[in-house]
Structures are given as C-alpha cells and as structure tokens.
Structure 1
Amino acid sequence: MPAVTDSLAADLDLALRIADAADAVTHGRFRASDLKVDRKPDRTPVTDADVACEDEVRRLLAAERPDDAVLGEERGGDTTATRHWIVDPIDGTKNYSRGVPVFATLLGLVVDGDPVVGVVSAPALGRRWWAARGLGAFTTDVARGIEAAPIGVSAVSALGDAYVSTTDLEYWREIGAQDRWLALTRETWESRAFGDFLHHMLVAEGLFDVVAEPGASAWDLAAPAVVVREAGGRLTDFAGAERIDGGDAVSTNGLLHDAVLRIVGSPGPAGP
C-alpha cells in the first residue's frame, strides 16, 4: 500500500505541475481581443485556447508518462488503457468566450476504471482544488492567502436544509425530466445554477450540499469525482453507480445522496 500511495503522490505532483502550465495558456488568452471562437458539431463553443491548452497538457503527459493513454474533450482519445488521463482543457468555455472568469482546466487520472487523481484549476478565480485516492482533498485560494487547505463536505443531513445546484434547466427539458429537478427544489432549502466544475467544488468545500447534473461527460467528472469523494462526499450517476461515463451526475455530501437519487433517479417524472 505505501508504494501505491507514493505512486499516486507522484502522479498528483505531476498533475499539479501540468495544471500550472495549463493555467499559463488559458489565463494568458483570457479576454484576448483576438480570441478565436468556433462551434463544434454539437454547437458548443471551442476557442483556440481550448485546443492550445489540451495540446500543452498532452505534450507534457507524453514526456512524463509516455505509456499512459489520454482522453481529451477536443482531441478525443482512449479510455480502454489501464492508466489513462482525462482532460477538459477549459471547463466553462461559454464563460471563457464571454470573458466570465468562471472556467477551469480539469485533469484526472483513471486507473483500472477508477478515478484516482483529480486537479481542478481555475486561474481567473485564483482557485485550485486537488485530491488523490487516500490522500485527502485540498484547495488553494489566492485572495484569502490559502496555499493548501484541507476541505470537507457539509454535515447537512436533512434534505429540507440542503443548498442545491444544477447547470441549466434546458438540460432537464432535453431528457424530459424537468419535473425531477423541480421536485428536488421543492424538497430542498434553496437552489442555484452554478454549473460546470464550480458547483461540484462547492460541494467538496461544504458550501453546497447537492449537485444534480443531467448532462455530463467523463471529462467533466473525472477530476471532480476524486475531489468530492476525498472530501467525504459521493459522486455517482443518476442510477447510483460510481461512474463518470453515465451521462449524468449527482454529487452530495453523502448524507443526502440516497434521498436525492430517489427523486432525480426515478424512471419517470417525479411526483410532488
């Protein structure tokens, strides 16, 4: 076990160094007057910074871990290898392209199908979150002078006291499940739509209690899953399986997870 822990610590150290390089790319192009914004076939935006960031991450991984596979949002890749890294160069590209500072690079390491290292780096916010299996979860907060503080989920145990977030009601409409989100909001204290990486990190920090996200890909979840779980929470799909490729996600402080799944994971529209 110590050897495994040492290996993960080395992988985490690499991921943090790569995040520094990614931040230099994304922050350097943030609000650039010549930022190029295109649309992918699914009509989601992609900027030249997305591509440049992923290419830099791939270059560094190839130099440091040449035997590891890589899956990236912009360049595709392999998820069948025993060890593979999953990269979202800019999570929150819509924000990035509009000059909104809520964006992050997500870098996760998956071993034998299990996310074990995760880094979420948001340079315009001066924030970073990271974790590795068995090593805990931590954050940096430049504005508060915090370099590496441990984080943990909330102790809220009643759904009626929960602070919840989603991404966009339109995603719920697209899958014919908007009634489930509305049912969840009726059962909880307050709801917001922070979206993307940020609401999962707020769960990990104990500032939010529940996230329900009906549209999510592996690159959206690989890194946050490690941080949330190491902070003491749970991240599953709507069926309750601990996976990042199910197309949806629920992250909670753990205490509320089953209650949330009973609402958002139901096969049909939820009742009142």
Structure 2
Amino acid sequence: MAYSENEHRMNTSAGLASVGTAALLVAIKAWALWQTGALSVGASLADSAVDLLISGAGLLAILYAAKPADDDHAFGHSSAEDLAALGQALIVLGAGATIGITGIRRLMAPSPPPLAAEGLGIAVMFASAVITFGLIWWQGRVAKATGNKVVAADRLHYVGDLLPTLGAILALWLSHAFGWGDVDSIVALIAAAIMLAGAAKIFIGAWHALMDRAAPDDVIEGIAKIARDWPDVRGFHDLKTRTAGAQIFVNLHIELDGDQTLEEAHDIGAALKRAIVAAYPQADVIIHKDVYRG
C-alpha cells in the first residue's frame, strides 16, 4: 500500500470533510439563490454542486486506491486517484463553460435581472466562505503530509470556490448599495475563468500520470545522487520512474563487484533500496544488480 495507516486515515478524513462541507454549501447556497436570484450566487452554487460530485468520487477513489496489490493489480490501485482527478477536471470544465455562457448572455441582455434580498444573500455567502476556508486549511495539511493527488485536486476546487463566493458578496453589496446589476455577471465570468484554468491544470496532471510520465526532475536527481554516493556501488544505469497517484515506481540497475558473494550483493541492494524509500516514502523500488565491467 502506498500510504501508511495514519496517512490513509488522514486522506479519508479529508474526503469525508469535503463531502460534508460540499453538501452543506449546496444547501445554503441553493436557498440564497432562491432568495436573491443573483447569477453570482448561482455560479458559486454550481461550483459547490460540482464540488459535491467531485468530493464523492474523490472519497471513493481514496478508499479504492488504498487497497493493497492483488493478483489482478500487481502494482496496486493508486491509478484510481488519477482517473478520479481526470473525471473531476471534465466536470469542472463543463460547469465553468455553462456559467461563462450564462454570464455573457446576461451582459448582452438589454437590462440585467433585478436582484433581491441582498443582505440575506451576503450573510449566507459569508458563512460559506468561512466554512470553505476551514476545509481548505485541513486539506492543505493532509495533502502536504501524504501527497495525495485527489485531496490536492479537491483542495484546488475549494480554493477556486473562495473567489466566486467573495465575488458574490461584492456583487450583492454593489447591487444593494448602487444598483449595479452588471457586476453580478462580471463576477460570474471571473469565477468561470478560474474554474476553467484550474480544470485544465488538473486534467494535464492526471493525463501525464495515466500516460506513465516520469517523476519530477528533482526526485529523479535525488534518487540518482543516493545511488551515485552509495558505498560499494561502482555505477548505475537505466534509472526509470513513473507515477501513479501519489506513488512513484522506480527501476534502477546498479553495478557491483563481480567477486562479491550473492549475499553481499543482496545486502548492498537492499540497503540502497531502504535509503531511497526513506528519502521518498511513496516510492516502490526495484533494484537490478549487474556486474561492474570497468
């Protein structure tokens, strides 16, 4: 399993917190939209509804990816994280495009629809912002501790949700104070742009992982340095890596003195593997031993 028991508990807690928060935000924002009729509130509601779908799928992916390797999945189930992230990106792209088109249509209309109950809407959106910030804080701690891509992607959605939420507060206040109804559509367009940009970033990252892209350059160089400096290792070659979810798969050929016993060669390779895993806990390492030819 790619994660320790404690890391799995943290990932699961982040997934459960995300689902619960999203459900609460959808409920209160739907009520605020019904009371105000503000498109900016609708944009924030749509974002939270998408977050609810994404969070539910993400929680399932976290639980599935944590399953140990079996006969049908010898390398584990961590790619489920990348599949979930890819699906998340596609959903966000659709929601962002819908909000953007609606915002443009309202701006082109002869007069924007009137807003109502702005004070109530402001109170609800402010509460939403506080709740969202609390979730983002916890997800940030979990993502930093475990490196889970689903939690990191989910956190990005909620970070993106903060701006449209704050924008909705601004739009409602400006409508109430000055009658500036067009601000509502402008805020919705900004929110749509943020959603589209975030979705593109998540999509690209998940796509690269599913296509077996190598680990980041600094990770590869770090592994190479460990192997290069390891005692009794005369050289190394064919260092290959790929990523799946938070896991990094490493294949490495090391060159050893051919006069050593098999047990001595095994001990060197095992010690080197432990050192790499200590430096990169999410690494799954296979070391091949070759005879040094000079």
Is TM (by shorter chain) over 0.5? no
Bigger proportion of residues as strand: 1
Which of the two has greater helix per residue?
Answer: 2
TM-score band by shorter chain is under 0.3
Q: Which has the higher contact order (CA 8 A, sep 6+)?
A: 2
- TM-score (normalised: structure 1): 0.24
Larger Cα Rg: Structure 1 or Structure 2?
2
TM-score by length of 2: 0.23
